[in-house]
Structure 1
């Protein structure tokens, strides 16, 4: 490990939040989540307890309203946004290292409407799009002769990222599980990265597993035995937390959320966007249908950060341990899409 890598490894991790709150793109904010955060706050007092987020420390110019094109690996945040319609200049993607504070341009993958990314270790990035999958070797450093990063040729697959409802990387670090949902049924596929890391191949159709199950208990965390899913086409046994983690306050309503793994002791942060149910602007209960899509105002939106640790009780039940909650005011002018799909990384 060289001196720079040693310094980066000693960095205290933070929660990084990304919002498209300026006219040309996105702002990055860094939030400290110490273990001695405020205890669980009673529901319904979010507006009174909300504080302002830290100011942006970095801004990125990219097409707004597209949270799907962000991903992260190690200490790097990747932006692989498509070229804006009507603009001929294609500057590719970008990569920002939050610890080393370095920025680099990187190649974009094949244009996809809503890609799903899979960081594999610290040296591979896989993207699954519309009926194709690609891999980027991000461990390759630029050669003095000018050889740089490049995506593998797209591999045709029978999966459309628009249909994906859950996904996971197997503990072997090379196998990807993807559950897709259709009108009639759900099924799961798996893909495998070759041992030399040079290619992706279709592994097999795992059958009618349906790993998502998100429709059954919305707002609850669930777990299943991924190993059993790899060896059987039977739907694995699923455990749910008894706790409902989305806001249930009488004056609050859930808008969107992202789960962020904090890397130790099974600690998780739920980054949730919410809004006051009743306010003068809507004249009644909030709904997306009442939003003016030409002028997406998010002044009434808030962030609710809930940290907890997933544990199994002595009876084998899945629990969330002691929860801690923080409320923040959402920056102004954030697009509705980013509120539905908050962008957050722990690094």
Structure 2
């Protein structure tokens, strides 16, 4: 019996959909990467499977911290540096960038590809940036770095992007890291001065505007004003308000807000300004931002002392709070080279607005703790979702 037209079309559609589904590549699974100064010769990068975190029950309002475990051994990557040299880490796409300071002359960036586990050599760091970065901001496939006079005698604002100058780069879908290059951008306009440093920053969801809040160098907790840089028009504006964060503010589309940590390590959120400017340079932005602190508190146990906390955005209203603490009984107040003195608490959670409009953490959270050591006073553990 011949097939009916509708049945035949349905079978063809089904077969075609199956074929398309089979040919469509599966989305890349992301992982949490931890960067630690846990060995004397340098830094380690650990790949963490967040599915192994312990989940709290919906009825428990405070996260349960499990017994501190050991990190995966060996780590995904180890980077050795000489002496007490510093190293800065940031991400762009699926890659982790590691940049050393200028103590040993001009050095290239190292680029770790989390998809291939390969390590490549990136472009050399510009001379004005080699003494340290105030901030590093990744926007799509472009990296923006700012160095204030607190780190260098000359302030600098640089951008690293693809430089399609060779035939190889133009004909290759994935150019080599040598295809990246740095170039200078206009510096922050007045009223910014050499006595200020950048203490917080955030990228507008339009992907075209970077906001930076400054503070006086000797009073980093006293924020002064905010500047926005329009990537498209390459111009600055000054705003008479400040971002409430310490470090980076992460945009979450479900909240339609930036989320970050304030100076007291409390989680807070801030509305995103609509007055983001145009190609008109250096004009006053008049918007005033509303912000609030999350009602839930994420403090370590009473027997532990908090060293530093950081917040990592994992997409789709999911965050990871990283808390580096010193256990009770540690030999020193701020121990270095003590394998049993520090614990790293990782807490994954979401955020939502209550009926009263207050921002609260979702009841169900995931936690994990690791026993770690530290070998550099200036370095704080960093986490990246790539």
For normalisation by structure 2, the TM-score amounts to 0.72
In the alignment, the residues of structure 2 paired with residue 111 and residue 44 of structure 1 have an alpha-carbon distance, to the nearest angstrom, of 41
C-alpha change, 1:139 and 1:345, in structure 2 (3 Å) is farther
* Deviations 1:257-297 (CA, angstroms, capped at 9, x unpaired): 11111112x10000110012x31624xxx3x4xx5xxx653
Do the aligned residues in 1 keep the contact of 2:325 with 2:343 (CA within 8 Å)?
yes
Taking a change above 3 Å as real, the CA distance of residues 68 and 221 of structure 1, as seen in their structure-2 partners, is farther
Is the contact between residue 125 and residue 138 of structure 1 (CA under 8 Å) also seen in structure 2? no
Question: Do the aligned residues in 1 keep the contact of 2:32 with 2:384 (CA within 8 Å)?
Answer: yes
Is structure 2 residue 370 aligned with structure 1 residue 328?
A: yes
Deviation at 1:230, TM superposition (A): 3.9
User: How far did 1:76 drift?
Assistant: 0.2
Helix, strand or coil at the partner of 1:34: helix
Residue 164 of structure 1: how far off its partner (Å): 2.0
Corresponding residue for residue 135 of structure 2:
116
How far off is 1:234 after superposition? 5.0
The match for 1:311 is 352
Asked if 1:133 corresponds to 2:157, the answer is yes
Deviation at 1:30, TM superposition (A): 0.7
Contact preservation (8 Å) 1:136, 1:150: yes
Q: Distance in 2 between matches of 1:227 and 1:327?
A: 37
The 8 Å contact of residues 87 and 99 in structure 2, kept in 1 or not, is answered as no
| Bigger Cα displacement from structure 2, 266-275 vs 312-321 | 312-321
Q: Which has the higher contact order (CA 8 A, sep 6+)?
A: 1
Given the superposition, is the C-alpha separation of residues 185 and 16 from structure 1 closer, same or farther in structure 2, using an over 3 Å criterion? Answer: closer
Summarize the Cα distance change of 1:245–1:63 in structure 2 as closer, same or farther, 3 Å threshold. Answer: farther
Q: Are the equivalent residues in 1 in contact too, given 2:262–2:268 (CA < 8 A)?
A: no
CA-to-aligned-CA distance 1:186-239 (integer Å, 9 cap, x gap): 1101111126xxxxx3421111x1212669772321111122564753541112
Verify the 8 A CA contact 2:202 2:211 in the aligned structure 1.
yes
| Structure 1 residues 22 and 189, CA gap change in structure 2 (3 angstroms) | same
1:190 and 2:228 are equivalent in the alignment: yes
1:344 corresponds to which residue? 383
Alignment of 1:167-182 (within 5 A): 167-182=201-216
**Shift of residue 38 of structure 1?**
3.2
Q: Deviations over 1:309-343 (max 9, x none)?
A: 0112232211110222211111x3532322xx221
Of 230, 233, 244 in structure 1, the residue corresponding to residue 297 of structure 2 is 244
Take 1:327 and 1:170, find their aligned partners in 2: how far apart are those partners?
A: 33
Query: Unpaired segments of 5 or more residues in structure 2?
Result: 1-23, 149-154, 170-175, 247-260, 278-284
Residue 297 of structure 2 is aligned to residue 263 of structure 1 = no
Distance in 1 (alpha carbons) for counterparts of 2:306 and 2:289: 29
Deviation of 1:106 (Å): 1.0
- 2:55 aligned residue: 38
Query: Is 1:212 the counterpart of 2:244 in the alignment?
Result: yes
SS of the aligned residue for 2:116 comes to coil
Return the index of the structure with the highest Cα Rg. 2
TM-score, structure 1 normalization: 0.79
The answer as to whether partners of 1:275 and 1:302 remain within 8 angstroms in 2 is: yes
Gaps of 5+ in 1: 1-5, 196-200
Confirm or deny: 8 A CA contact 2:196 2:215 kept in the other structure: no
> Contact (CA 8 Å) 1:127, 1:135: kept in 2 or not?
yes
Q: Is the CA contact (8 Å cut-off) linking 2:304 and 2:325 kept in structure 1?
A: yes
1:224 aligns with 2:270: yes
SS at match of 2:273: helix
- Alpha-carbon RMSD across the aligned residues, in angstroms, is 3.3
